[in-house]
Structure 1
Amino acid sequence: GLGSRRDVTATHVPGTTLGALAVPGLLPAGCKLVDTPGMDQVHSLAKYLPANELKMLQPRRALKGRTFRISPGKSVLLGGLARIDVVSQERGATLYLTPWISDEVACYMGKTEGVAERRQKHLGKRLSPPTAKSGPTFPELVPTTLHLQGSEWIRSTRDVAIAGLGWVGVGVSGAAELTVWTPPGVKVSVREPLARSLAKDMERPGLGAALGEAMVEEKRVPRRTPAEKGPRKGQTMPAAKEQGGAV
């Protein structure tokens, strides 16, 4: 739509443009740009969230993938909104899932066994969106089975797109079966990858952050000076220099 000063405005809520509106000043002379009413996407996850929580799905900065090294029998939760189970992998090896979604959506990786109970326990709290306010009315997730065929695991060779949320790159060599859980009616599709690269650092199991260099630095023991180490066996430390009197 247009503001009072004829500035272009934007909203995360569809259907706010009531008619065809000319937008001046954005295209060269002789060209016209017209803003037309949008349409609600009935297959989008966005229809299940209130307007204030839709903002959480919109990236506020450049997207960064979060890569999980995962094997059959494990799952990844995308907030409380969706879940991906790795059912089988042709060669029994691991594969790599890289969600490309807003960084306001918390992710979790763990065993598939009991994952539904863990999601319910943390829904609206550590797993959001939905928030604690809308969590109780958020619908139960329903499964969609996908059979993928990939050529390599060192980069994503297929994307699993979840309408209204984002997509998950899949790096797999051979065939794999995934079960994607979403609210009813949300479209799940498979396509060629938009971004092939994996994240530089792998995500930890659980509700953790990436194992990046910052975490390694925190765990690293500072190197001690020779004075802190003390004398080696059979060696005496030199006496301290006098500074203005005896030490």
Structure 2
Amino acid sequence: MYRIRNYLRRLFANCEGCGITLQHTDPKLQGYISETKYKNILTQNKKLEEIIKEKKETEDFKLKEFKRNFREQLKQINESTLRGTREKIERKARQEEKEEKKSKREQIQESIEAKKPQFMEITDINAIEEALATATPMHEYAQTPKLKPIKCVRCINLSVHNKVDGTLCAVTHATSLEVINLIFSEMRHGCVIMMMTDVIDFNGSFIAEVIDEAKKKKAKLILIGNKVDILPKSYKIERIETWIKQQIGDLIEDADVCVVSSKTGEGMKDVIKLLAKYKKTLPDASFYVVGATNSGKSSFLNLLTKMTWNLPEEKYKKPLLADALTVSKLAGTTQAPIPVKCRSLALTVFDTQGIPTVSQMTSHLTNPEAIFNLIPSKRIHPLVFVCHSKFSFWIGALARIDMVEGDLKFMTFFTNNLCTVHKTKFEKVEDVYKRQAGNLLSPAFDNPETIEFEKTRVEIPSSDKEKANKDIVIHGLGWVAVSGRGSSTFDVWVPKGVGVTVRPALMPFEAKIERRVPKNRTANAEKIMGRRPKSS
């Protein structure tokens, strides 16, 4: 089955953003691109390929000339060094004899002369100038023309305009089990799977079924925690790795757990080392990236491609390569497996469809604007509220947390900076929702009055007002760290099907006084951070 599908893919052109087969007939179906635009891109890329080829031949010729000249210069330097060493020994012996006869005045004069700046030999300067003339300047790499990726209209609307068109996508409406079966049906036995998770929504994006299917394929698993750059500045990557290892237990080997940022490149070198190791030990293995929707698979592979492009570190930090894979906050950007080449590792990694997870809040939203305001793309700035029993918190108009019993607690909210958190009393909670859903409480569902909430009761033990012991996690929305002395009881209200989890605190030390929100106030981090001094 795998070989047949690969053969069919070679016969038809695929979208380089989502992997779907391109077509020119029906704009309402996935993979549409106008025939004129398709031909224009092909013509443009063909011309660019000729320019790149000619440029490469010129650079290769310069490199060969430089290597040949350098070898000759090195040979001359070695000969002159040997000759100079003998002369230096003889000169030193004669110098020692003279120094014994010299007067003190002459020795002082010579020491003054010795402190004067020394100049390079003319031959050395010429060699450096010749090397600089033959070497390829760094700026020429940035000027190298880039091939334009061929993308369907849907990918362009998603990645460039943040718009959703009416294109029908079968994968978007498939269940998680159907997508998992589809992905693993194409995999070979003994492959290497990079399982992508979102550190910001670890419980919602960690899919245990992927591990079960990987075991059936006898595959090697690498767990990658992505989007670490979204966490507050106080995070330590080593502590996040340790926390993830504690969460997964012995499901995956500790050495195969990495925490990365697809935005800054932090932690990517560890992933590259692991890939190089498995390429050496498993030379015939295929490599795949598998994960939930919005876990950052495509952005991860875009960066991995740049970092394994056979260029020094300072070069890949520049925008030399266009991002081929479509990146968007909306689910379903990847429609079919896409091969991505890692040149320096001499391997190809396949990007796969995102696995939809019903337990995530984003799966219950249909408004793209609400999704954009829910999924964080900037660093999270936590909001800290003082909480007593019989008080409630609305997180946007999407979820609610009631404190049923317990002494004073500090509630630290980790959500998108645009998501509002509103504190109110028990008796006002329903009235606030009816009046303010979509206004004061944002983001919200398209029809808030039709949403059916279900309750989950949780017990939170705590012993320190400055350190949180547990997190209350709402999948796809964020989490709340609870700190303070004594245990407490909370009711968590979420739409039916959204997951709620209690876990050890991920960021336990964020309940700082300067981050606390004043009493009876609605807040989101975007507005509050704008009024705070930079030091906070």
Normalised to the residue count of structure 1, the TM-score between the two structures is 0.77
From 13, 16, 19, the counterpart of 1:2: 16
Aligned to 2:359, what secondary structure does the other structure show?
Answer: coil
Asked whether 1:66 is paired with 2:380, we answer: no
Q: Which residue, 145, 149, 172 being the options, matches 2:457? A: 145
CA distance in 1, matches of 2:449, 2:341: 43
Tell me the distance in 1 between the aligned counterparts of 2:502 and 2:477.
14
Distance 1:130 1:136 in 2: 7
| In structure 2, distance between residues paired with 1:213 and 1:185 | 33
Tell me the equivalent position of 1:50. 366
- Distance in 1 between residues matched to 2:486 and 2:16, nearest whole Å: 51
**Structure 1 contact 48–138 (Cα < 8 Å) conserved:** no
Contact 1:20-1:36 at 8 Å conserved across structures: yes
Letter in 1 for 2:458: L
Distance 1:144 1:213, change over 3 A: closer
Are residues 128 and 214 of structure 1, via their aligned partners in 2, closer, same or farther at CA, if it must alter by over 3 Å?
Answer: closer
Q: Once structures 1 and 2 are overlaid, which stretch shifts more, 176-185 or 34-43?
A: 34-43
- The structure-2 alpha-carbon separation of the partners of 1:14 and 1:153, relative to structure 1 and needing over 3 Å to count, comes to same
- One-letter amino acid of the counterpart of residue 385, structure 2: F
1:23 is paired with a residue of what secondary structure? strand
Give the direction of change, closer, same or farther, for the CA distance of 1:137–1:70 in structure 2 (3 Å limit).
closer
Counterpart of 2:495, as a letter, is P
The equivalent residue for 1:35 is 351
Question: Which is worse superposed, 150-159 or 66-75?
Answer: 150-159
Question: How many Å separate the matches in 2 of 1:125 and 1:117?
Answer: 13
The alpha carbon displacement at 1:60 in A equals 2.7
Any conservation in 2 of the 1:87–1:177 contact (CA below 8 Å)? Answer: yes
Contact conserved, 1:76 with 1:85, CA < 8 A, in 2? yes
- Cα distance change on mapping 1:147 and 1:42 into 2, 3 Å: same
Identity of aligned residues (%): 25
SS in 2 for 1:54: helix
Match of 1:127?
441
Distance 1:55 1:216, change over 3 A: closer
Deviation per CA, 1:23-71: give whole Å up to 9, x if none: 234x742343221111211111112212512111111310111000101
| 1:107 correspondence with 2:390 | no
Bigger helix share: 2
The equivalent position to 2:393 in structure 1, one of 55, 72, 76, is 76
Q: CA deviation at 1:191?
A: 0.5
SS at match of 1:113: helix
Instruction: Determine if contact 1:150/1:173 at 8 Å carries over to the other structure.
Output: yes
C-alpha contact 1:163 1:186 (8 A) present in aligned 2: yes
Look up the SS of the partner of 2:442 in the other structure: coil
Looking at structure 1, the residues matched to 354 and 447 of structure 2 have their Cα atoms a distance apart, in angstroms, of: 28
**Secondary structure at the counterpart of residue 463 of structure 2:** strand
Q: Deviations over 1:151-207 (max 9, x none)?
A: 212122111110110111111322110000110111000001111122432112132
Partners of 1:176 and 1:206 in 2: CA distance: 22
Aligned to 1:177: 489
Q: Which runs of 5+ in 1 are unaligned?
A: 218-247
1:202 equivalent in alignment to 2:346: no
Q: Which has the higher contact order (CA 8 A, sep 6+)?
A: 1
More off after superposition, 144-153 vs 8-17: 8-17
Larger radius of gyration: 2
Residues 216 and 167 of structure 1: CA distance in aligned 2, closer, same or farther (over 3 Å): closer
Cα 1:67–1:108, aligned 2, differ >3 Å: closer, same or farther? same
Find out whether 1:154 has 2:466 as its counterpart.
yes
Give the structure 2 partner of residue 245 of structure 1.
none
CA contact (8 A) 2:418 2:524 kept: no
CA distance in 1, matches of 2:504, 2:471: 6
Give per-residue Cα distances to partners, 1:127-151, cap 9 Å, x unaligned: 11116xx144651322110011122
- What stretches of structure 2 of length at least 5 have no aligned partner? 1-14, 18-147, 151-323
Per the alignment, residue 165 of structure 1 pairs with 477
Change (3 A) 1:11 1:208: closer
Counterpart of 1:80, as a letter, is A
Q: CA RMSD in A?
A: 2.6
Report the Cα distance in structure 1 between the residues aligned to 2:386 and 2:366, rounded to whole angstroms: 33
Structure 1 contact 77–83 (Cα < 8 Å) conserved: yes
Counterpart amino acid of residue 29 in structure 1: L
- State the one-letter code of the partner of 1:35: D
Find the residue that maps to 2:502 and give its secondary structure.
strand
